[in-house]
Amino acid sequence: MSDPKHNLPFEISSEEVPISGQVNKSSGAFQFESIPPGGIAVTWPLGISFVIMQDVSHANDPIRYIFCGSAVIVPDTVFQADTSYYIAAPQGATQTFTIHFTEAPAKE
């Protein structure tokens, strides 16, 4: 079974700590249906930091982006459509939290 593919906007929930039996992974895996040319706007609760890792079979999972603060525009070159990712290594969370993904606003 493949990981769920999402069209923007969508949200992913993450546990405040890694899932039982995992070193870093704190959410289920997900994929982007497509990546808009202007990038992806990502928002989450202030005071929490985390990374998004790429799920790679039979190899070490690379970190694709480090998230600190509460909002960022991720360039369109960071993520790829039809590739599995997950939330990992949350810091500062005291409960399950939600990460929101939307299309970045157009540049003027």
Per-residue confidence band for 106, with pLDDT thresholds at 50, 70 and 90: confident
Segment 92-102 shows an average pLDDT of: 97
Average pLDDT, the chain: 94
Q: Which residues pair with 63 in a beta bridge?
A: 53
5-103: which CATH topology?
Jelly Rolls (2.60.120)
Of the candidates 16, 19, 23, the residue with the CA atom closest to the CA atom of residue 45 = 16
For residue 86, what are the CA distances in angstroms to 46, 52, 63, 83, 107? 20, 6, 10, 10, 28
Segment 16-39 shows an average pLDDT of: 96
pLDDT for the residue numbered 1 = 47
The domain ranges of the chain are 5-103
Rounded to two decimals, the pTM is 0.93
Of the candidates 94, 102, 105, 92, the residue with the CA atom closest to the CA atom of residue 11 = 102
How many Å apart are CA 5 and CA 16, to the nearest integer?
Answer: 23
SS3 101: strand
